[in-house]
Amino acid sequence: MLAVISAIACLGGGCSQREPVRIMSWNVLVGFNTYQQEGDPWPDGAKRLELAGDFLLEAKPDIIGWQELNGWTPQRLRSWTTPMGLGHGVLLKERGYDLGLSSRWPLVVVERHLKGMHHGLLHVRTRGIEVFVVHFSPSRHAHRLLEIELVMQRVEPLLSAGRPVLLMGDFNAASGQDDALFGETGMLWWNRWNYPIDTNGRPVTDVLQRALDGGLIDLWVQERPAHTPQFQHRPRIDFILASPNLAAQCTEAIWLDTPRHHVMSDHPPVLVELCLDSPGAP
């Protein structure tokens, strides 16, 4: 826990003459509304929102990709995040399990896509970066494979053109690069969720593999220590993936799997830092 707090505080220290840009992906559990399940640690929604606000003021992200903004409007999102320096924000559909994006810089919505997606796909351009926010099906693995294919059909031409790309969100899927981290606790959660396993009894990882094979890089895998401990709580299903040109500018990536963050949501946020040159046009 102390190491994580220290890492957040030290973000920005390695950028020299370039600008540190902090990017976060966070599934916030039904929009910080009150949600109770026996045995889970979440306080009421108002308290979770307060705790999240305090955390964001500390972490100082510049771009946030949101999942599960249930009941929010673009106006409410901007009103809440503007004091954090995030004066620009959009939602995908303003209903159901919504996606959103907040940014310190002006943004352009490139595409809002719902067809064939369980919760949808939001593509926004901000600070010259093509940002895709997703939340894949929680229960249908075959549908997740269709969803990642729809996403990569949009991402791969951008990668071929040399565009800086980020793909972030709740994939409801595992990465083969995390296989060594799935010990007994991780597998207990995986089986509890009824997620698919292969013939060796290990998590199926083809959804994430499609993105990696398509040219994206998992920033947490790139930056994490070589001897990262096995999952002690829920295993990782939230990712920030980057084009190679952005991954080369990444200086830190943290998966905030801590008791503090477990109280705010059932998903730990992912926070990365990029050291970028002067901003491009949105």
Query: pLDDT confidence of 137, banded at 50, 70, 90?
Result: very high
Asked if residue 44 is part of any domain, the answer here is: yes
pLDDT for res 225: 93
Asked if residue 102 is part of any domain, the answer here is: yes
Res. 15: pLDDT tops 80: no
Residue-wise pLDDT for 24-60, tens only, equals 999 999 999 988 777 677 888 899 999 999 999 999 9
Res. 70: pLDDT tops 90: yes
- Count of domains forming the chain: 1
Range of the domain at 52: 2-9+21-276
- Could you give the C-alpha distances from 232 to 8, 169, 274, in angstroms and in order? 21, 21, 28
> Whole-prediction pTM value?
0.94
Residue-wise pLDDT for 162-171, tens only, equals 999 999 999 9
Q: Specify the 3-state DSSP secondary structure of 46.
A: helix
Asked if residue 160 is part of any domain, the answer here is: yes
In degrees and rounded to multiples of 5, residue 150 shows phi and psi of: -60, -40
**3-state percent breakdown (helix, strand, coil) of the chain, nearest 5:** 35, 25, 40
Res. 174: pLDDT tops 90: yes
What percent of the chain stands above pLDDT 90?
85
Query: pLDDT confidence of 3, banded at 50, 70, 90?
Result: very low
pLDDT for res 41: 79
CB atoms closer than 10 angstroms to residue 259: 9
CA distance 240 to 197: 23
One-character DSSP codes across 131-172: EEEEE--SS-HHHHHHHHHHHHHHHHHHHHTT--EEEEEE-S
pLDDT for res 14: 65
pLDDT for res 251: 96
Residue-wise pLDDT for 190-238, tens only, equals 999 999 999 999 999 999 999 999 999 999 999 999 999 999 999 999 9
Q: What is the CATH number of the domain that holds 200?
A: 3.60.10.10
pLDDT for res 90: 98
Asked if residue 126 is part of any domain, the answer here is: yes
Asked if residue 15 is part of any domain, the answer here is: no
Segment 17-27 mean pLDDT: 94
pLDDT for res 279: 63
Centroid of chain to Cα 68:
12
Average pLDDT, the chain: 92
Asked if residue 57 is part of any domain, the answer here is: yes
Segment 232-252 mean pLDDT: 97
Asked if residue 244 is part of any domain, the answer here is: yes
Are 66 and 94 in contact, with CB atoms under 8 Å apart? no
Res. 82: pLDDT tops 70: yes
Asked if residue 187 is part of any domain, the answer here is: yes
